[in-house]
Chain A
Amino acid sequence: MSTLIHKADQIVAAPTKQEFTITVYAENQIGLLVRIAIIFSRRKINIESINSSPCEIESISRFTLVIHETEEVVRKVCRQIEKQVEVLKVYYNTNDEIIWQELALYKVSTNEIAEKVKVERLLREYGARAVVIRKDYTVFEASGHREETDKLVDVLSEVGLIEFVRSARVAIIKASAGFHEKLREFEAEQPSEEVVENEYLNRNEEVFTM
């Protein structure tokens, strides 16, 4: 639903902001995260979630970022990211175009939970599993969308949730054929040029100019 804003002498519909997931394929290089982050911070855009991990191709990293913005801004930001030397490709998607998960860990007192909750039922209901069970505490793990992992927070808060942490979003694009296909396409379109022969080898006298 668009919001109406007054602009000069006319009323125009303000572009709608929504959640976008940005996927960046890039060389694994020190400092690239800062370069990407700066593109958002200089435009005063908050990154809701950011994850970096290897992708299916060795040495290429996959960044997954979530922001809340209009599509026009997202498109422009993605072009700026793609302009970075180490970045190979950037995609942006709405939530219905991706499959995504976030991982959550919950630490509760073992005594409390044993006394007050039917643990088995709780695990089944929320798709959680126990990661660690000690005398003093138990750690559960659940994954899913934000609202799903939040529900378990609500339940466990009633039995003394000691600690809670949730990961950044990881996402798979439904329509993607994987990046290795794209990389092959890149190389076919713009193949690596013939590497210039090392014209200086065996020309020591000329090369070493001292």
Chain B
Amino acid sequence: MSETLDILVEPTLKTAVATTTAEEVSLSGSRAVLEAFVAEGVDTIFGYPGGAIMPIYDALYDYHDKLKHILVRHEQGGIHAAQGYARSSGRVGVVFATSGPGATNLITGLADAMIDSTPLVCITGQVFAHLLGTDAFQEVDVLNITTPVTKWNYQVTDAKEIPAVLAKAFHIAKTGRPGPVLIDITKNAQLDKFAYHGYTKCNHIRSYRPKPIVRKEYIQQAAQLINEAKQPFVLFGQGVILGKAEKEFRTFIEKSGIPAAWTILGAGALPTDHPLNVGMLGMHGNYGPNVLTNECDVLIAIGMRFDDRVTGRLDKYAKQAKIIHLDIDPSEIDKNVKATVGVWGDCKETLPLLTELVTPRVYPQWVERFYTYRKIEEESLIEKELNPLVGQLTMGEVVHQLNALTKGDAIIVSDVGQHQMIACRYAKFNQSRSNITSGGAGTMGFALPAAIGAKFGAEDRPVVAIIGDGGIQMTIQEFGTIMQSGVNVKIIILNNQFLGMVRQWQQLFHDKRYSFVDIASPDYVMVAKGYGIPGNKVTERDELQKALQTMLDHDGSYLLEVMVGKEDNVFPMVPQGCSVSEIRLK
């Protein structure tokens, strides 16, 4: 490439390329990044500019018709928004941040995305390659900091590497068990021009086997165990959703007749009202699924990882049962719970094979036992939570009334704490990709930015963020993102004037010593108003339904603060260190 042609190509590229062949095009690294995004079908980027990523932002100025950029107020907000986008759309979320503090502000989101298997491609700017390791201004060793919380990361120091590295990044992020990928690009690599030969998508890496080979003998063994079972029980997780195997899963459940319970990230993979959907697992899950885990004879785990919040005490977990574990990630099988039969593979492939071999069955008495426990739970707890007649408003009744108004069609994005467990327990979902929450990491501050991202990922669906008074204050600055982008997100703050879940634990396990959980709140309606977001505050039961309707009817974002019982607790509960069958109703 001659110097003369270089001058011609940038910045009047369109004219220049018309007179040259693709092989001869000179492109800056920054442009190559954006070309990769366009080729990968990226439509929305969340980010925050800064010195070391400025060349990419400069190039982005020319791509406004192809790539929408959402300016967040903090990089943490940017990555949570990208997570929300990925979770609602099933596509790869993309985030930009500058070097140093910009990059380190991504860490919480990376950890969250890593444990919840969310596909992300994060681009961070880095100082010039010749300054690496010199403690230059805003230099941080991003690669080593992010290594434990990324599926893959790479530092680009030469512009020529960019197309191939970006292609690899997208391939790794979205295939197999998805996860976050971070590409750190030095400023010189963004600025330098190189001979660009177009973008080739990556579909194979020699050392990377995203999907294990399905071993039919294990499918046969699993089918045999299922066919011989008297009280089989299915636990399903997000793997069903990530594998886009909702239909295959439903076919399996309906043919085999096995009752199925879900982890919080698996919520929505089977509609809430399906007769074989017997409820939520885990620490604050439903009574029946937890108790009966220790009574089933065959336990079939599908796309879930036996998290400690699901299993409780492992040495007393389903010891009577033969375990079948289907997972795409071989390292998950036998990690926490030893499987009798491990079925490695993508459940989109393994479930139909299994369905073919299982005998059509129904287990009326066994399924009825779940309903019996459901009845006990409803009478002693759920009814009081969802339809209280006296006392302060409960979190449950807010979710219950929201269900009635949205008819299970809304995407519910919850933060972390008591309200999260209530939202996951009581929200109704008609379709998949409706429950977006921080599962494995338990990140407070997740919901507001994730809801913004979720709306960009599913613009035709209503998005309602349910957030506690603690969590909202962790990323409240993202009201600014709502204001500027005009995104339509409904925000419900369930205010109990406490860091509620910590307070609940202090009450139950620390002799009511409420150490630093009494959190003061600003006037949220006023704060939102300052950002141009209308709102309302509800304290009385008879105002709730109308207030929710007003919120849903409003054309644009809206904030609804609901004052709820200060010392209400979330039950049922499997106390820490207890078996799932020791679940408490009060």
Contact = CB atoms under 8 A, between A and B. Distances in A.
B208 A85 contact: yes
Given A88-B207, A205-B18, 14 more contacts: A27-B206, A38-B147, A38-B148, A83-B331, A85-B152, A88-B206, A190-B213, A195-B200, A198-B200, A201-B23, A207-B35, A207-B39, A209-B66, A210-B13
A85 B22 contact: no
Contacts of A30: 155
Contact of A79 (B35, B39, B65, B330): B330
A76 interface: yes
Given A31-B144, A76-B335, A204-B17, A198 B199 contact: yes
Contact of B198 (A80, A85, A207): A207
Contacts of A209: 35, 38, 63, 65-66
B314 to A, nearest CB: 12
A31 B148 CA distance: 11
Nearest to A204: B17
B143 interface: yes
A189 B213 contact: yes
Interface of B: 13-14, 17-18, 21-23, 25, 35, 38-39, 62-63, 65-66, 143-144, 147-148, 151-155, 172, 197-201, 203-209, 213, 315, 329-331, 334-335
A17 to B, nearest CB: 19
A210 B201 contact: no
Contact of B331 (A80, A88, A189, A192): A80
Contact of B207 (A42, A75, A85, A189): A85
B173 to A, nearest CB: 11
Interface string A168-210: 0000000000000000001001101101101011111101111
Contacts of B155: 30-31
A186 B213 CA distance: 10
B63 A87 contact: no
Interface of A: 7-8, 26-27, 30-31, 34-35, 38, 42, 75-76, 79-80, 82-83, 85-88, 186, 189-190, 192-193, 195-196, 198, 200-205, 207-210
10 contacts: A76-B335, A83-B331, A85-B152, A86-B208, A196-B200, A198-B197, A205-B17, A205-B18, A208-B25, A210-B62
B204 A208 contact: no
Listed from nearest, the 8 A-B pairs whose CB atoms lie closest are: A79-B331, A200-B198, A204-B17, A192-B204, A210-B62, A201-B198, A85-B152, A209-B66
A195 B22 contact: no
B101 to A, nearest CB: 22
Contacts of B62: 210
Nearest to B335: A76
Given A42-B148, A198-B200, A85 B205 contact: yes
A193 B203 contact: yes
A36 to B, nearest CB: 10
Q: Which has the most chain A C-beta neighbours within 10 Å: B18, B148, B331? A: B331
A193 B198 CA distance: 20
Given A83-B329, A202-B22, A204-B18, A192 B206 contact: yes
B334 A76 contact: yes
B18 A26 contact: no
B15 to A, nearest CB: 10
B206 A200 contact: no
Contacts of A196: 200-201, 203
B106 to A, nearest CB: 17
Q: Which has the most chain A C-beta neighbours within 10 Å: B39, B206, B315, B329? A: B206
Contact of A85 (B63, B172, B201, B330): B172
A118 B329 CA distance: 60
Contacts of B152: 85
Q: Which has the most chain B C-beta neighbours within 10 Å: A76, A83, A87, A195? A: A83
A83 B199 CA distance: 27
Contacts of B315: 7-8
Contacts of A76: 331, 334-335
Contacts of A34: 144, 147
A207 B66 CA distance: 11
Nearest to A87: B207
Nearest to B67: A209
A203 B18 CA distance: 10
B243 to A, nearest CB: 17
A83 B148 CA distance: 13
B22 A201 contact: yes
A7 B313 CA distance: 13
Q: Which has the most chain B C-beta neighbours within 10 Å: A76, A203, A205, A210? A: A210
Nearest to B177: A83
B22 A31 contact: no
A124 to B, nearest CB: 46
Contacts of B199: 198, 200, 207
A26 B206 CA distance: 10
B179 to A, nearest CB: 10
Contacts of A210: 13-14, 62-63
A31 B331 contact: no
A31 B63 contact: no
Contacts of B13: 208, 210
Contacts of B38: 207, 209
Nearest to B66: A209
Contacts of B143: 31
A30 B25 CA distance: 30
Contacts of A38: 147-148
Nearest to B313: A8
Contacts of A27: 206-207
Contacts of A82: 330-331
Nearest to A25: B207
Nearest to B38: A209
A8 B18 CA distance: 77
A91 to B, nearest CB: 15
A82 B176 CA distance: 14
Nearest to A192: B204
A208 B329 contact: no
Nearest to B332: A79
B204 A193 contact: yes
Given A31-B153, A79-B331, A198-B200, A86 B18 contact: no
Given A31-B143, A31-B144, A35-B147, A201 B197 contact: yes
A202 B24 CA distance: 11
